[in-house]
Amino acid sequence: MQLKDPIYGLRILSDYRKLRKTLEKRVKQPDLELIKRSFQFANRAHREQKRLSGEPYIIHPLAVATNLADWGLDNHTVAAGLLHDVVEDTAFGEENIQSEFGPEIHSLVKAVTKISTVKKDRARAMGLAGPEIKRLKEREAAENIRLMLLATARDVRVILIKLADKLHNMRTLQFQKAEKVERIANEVLQIYAPIAGRLGMFRVKSELEDLAFMRLNSEAYREIAEGLKQSRGELEDFLETVRKILKRRLSEIKIEARIDGRAKHMYSIHQKMINQDKHLGQIYDLRGIRIIVDEIKDCYGALGIVHTLWTPIHGRFKDYIATPKVNGYQSLHTTVLGPDGKPLEIQIRTKDMDERAEHGIAAHWLYKSSLDGAERHRWLERLTGLTEVGGDSGEFIEDLKQELDSDEVYVFTPKGDIIDLPVGSSVLDFAFRIHTQVGLRCKGAKVNDRMVPLRTELKSGDRVEIITEKNPNPSPNWLRYLQSPRAAQKLRAYFRKQEDEQDESKEEESLNLEGLTEKHLNNISELRIRRAKTADPRRVPIEVAGAKDIPVRYAGCCTPVPGDRIVGFVTRGRGVTIHRVDCPNLAAETHEKDRMIQVRWEGLTEKYPVQIDIHARDRQGLYLDLVGEITKTHTNILKAEAELPRTAGDLMRARFLIEIEHVDHLRDIIDSVMAVPGVVSVERMQDTKKKHPV
């Protein structure tokens, strides 16, 4: 090893020794010779490079490798951590990694190497301006994340190397330019920290969030840090009192336990202060206790002691041992009124559960040599599944953020299998989770043996049965009911495929509208364009500049549905693309305003009055329930009346005059009303004298 600068040379040697010690302590069967060769290769490759801090570049790969070793990952992953920037940032190529270290390490290094980025000077030579360069970089950043997740689908260690890389970069972010600091910190807060959380790596998640929070809102960060520092003595005294009480009572039933105060997570404290509109002194979950025991039975024994000592708060008990979270997290959570009468949060788990809670998916390497296919996280498979469906980078990133930001509900199939879904998911989300074809062919559902509308929101513990028809028959209206990004992607992909098939069938008849603006389209009769009929009769036609026969396609990035406010964008060779007016991709095209054109849903400027007739078994609150279900479908009620039963056993009759947009809207209303307990029938009235069942 040639280390030119003696001061930095000592620093590098010190960091290398720290890596070796961590490897020996945390990694099963450490291969010190492999790590030595990897370090020497990386040090030689990066020898002329420095970080923005002025330090030799090799400091960064050493830190990444040490993070990976600390998480207990295998030798090949730690070696890949040392080599992860060689291909991207030095003259050495993939073939060098392959020949020196073999296919496994080469595969990991290749997977974490970014796609090539457009440099400013080259971009300007291509004629790109500042905003265009920025948009290009955003698309490339999204594509990097997509490629990373595709690689993660094959080997989960790819995302772990990336997290180790992000963690060290965030620790040294102060040397970057201000605008880059903000971009990187936001990306970490929105993408990488949530990924760490979903992988069960809560220690990493907490540190990433706190580091990003410190850079994005330094003033709020300092205020919380000062507040915690001032109250530290009082808090420690309180927690010590609780520890002594618990130790004494647990020893009486012969349970050995380690009792710790919970670590303070700055960003989560800040979020609670904002969401609950409270100051620091009112946030009581700072007062947390974690009880670590040897066996699962001791967890429940300790819970019994806690609940006999202090009154549990109703609704604040969670058994994640019997029903683990999707990322494998297990623990008992309870909140009690502590010895001072204020809320006290307590977590109870075994030592293995605590290790997994700290290191998440990475903890598997502490017990095994790899992560078995059967143990792969269902959520990780869903996450990588987002990359399988077509769509632009903006759509992909928004879906990814939504997937990362959602909590879960746990529901059951008719056979008793547990399915996890984002909070707010409908029965349609459940159908698409079972299989894409089940979702596309869904025509109804039962929740806990009751027929319900497809938009019905599911709750933990629900048992769901999907009723399907022979052929796919989805409605664009379904996009309003889907909470799961992957389900929405599958549905959008179906409609895109239908649209593409229609485009192919009329390709010879299509007209190139390049360069046409609203001014050119005003005299539309001269164009003599005949719009082919859509294969989906429920698709609401679009009027373009007042004309109904212009070929259009629907943007996959924002998936406009009937009722959305929309605008047209004249595309080269493909007619007019319909976007929602708030589409972020459309906002990026403001420099081409001359290609924007006025469009509207044909007929949706007016709503149509329809009368429905409802028969139901009378009960208290029935009428309010009927009104509530109708309004939940975003329907305006023009007139309402009811006839109460004259004799016992007769049915109550209610009539509503409502405004609807299209037939799917009406079907949704009828499904919703039929789900109200006691409703026997819902019929559509053609006029005041004659009624027709829907």
**Residues marked as catalytic:** 88-89
Q: Which of 562, 523, 534 is nearest to 668 (CA)?
A: 562
Token pair listed for 59: 């400091």
What are φ and ψ of residue 415, in 5° steps? -85, -5
What are φ and ψ of residue 332, in 5° steps? -100, 135
Which residue has tokens 């990991």?
Answer: 108
User: Which phi-psi region, left, alpha or beta, contains residue 72 (left: φ > 0; alpha: ψ -120 to 50)?
Assistant: left
Q: Which of 188, 185, 195, 190 is nearest to 149 (CA)?
A: 195
402-409 long-range contacts (CB < 8 A, ≥24 apart) are 402/485, 403/484, 403/485, 403/486, 404/190, 404/191, 404/194, 404/195, 404/198, 405/194, 406/483, 408/325, 408/326, 409/458, 409/459, 409/460, 409/462
User: What does the alpha-carbon distance between residue 179 and residue 424 come to, in Å, rounded to a whole number?
Assistant: 35
User: Which phi-psi region, left, alpha or beta, contains residue 461 (left: φ > 0; alpha: ψ -120 to 50)?
Assistant: left
**Which string of b and e fits 224-239 if b means at least 16 CB within 10 Å?**
beebeeeeeeeeeebb
Contact 619, 651 (CB under 8 A): no
> Which one-letter DSSP state was computed for residue 595?
G
| DSSP output for 69-107 | HHTT--HHHHHHHHHTTHHHHSS--HHHHHHHHHHHHHH
- The Cα angle at residue 264 between residues 259 and 269, in degrees rounded to 5: 135
- R_g of the chain, CA atoms, integer Å: 30
- The Cα angle at residue 178 between residues 177 and 180, in degrees rounded to 5: 70
Q: Which of 37, 35, 93, 91 is nearest to 64 (CA)?
A: 35
304-310 long-range contacts (CB < 8 A, ≥24 apart) are 305/246, 305/249, 305/250, 305/253, 305/255, 306/246, 306/334, 306/336, 306/346, 306/348, 307/334, 307/336, 309/245, 309/246, 309/249, 309/336, 310/336, 310/337, 310/338, 310/339, 310/344
Contact 251, 353 (CB under 8 A): no
Please list, in sequence order, all residues whose beta carbon lies within 8 angstroms of the beta carbon of residue 419, skipping any fewer than 6 positions away.
410, 411, 412, 413, 430, 433, 434, 464
Which residue has tokens 């409605």?
Answer: 475
Helix/strand/coil (H/E/C) assignment for every residue in 195-224 = HHHHCCCHHHHHHHHHHHHHHHCHHHHHHH
Token pair listed for 492: 């959008």
What are φ and ψ of residue 263, in 5° steps? -65, 145
Beta carbons within 10 angstroms of residue 609's beta carbon = 11
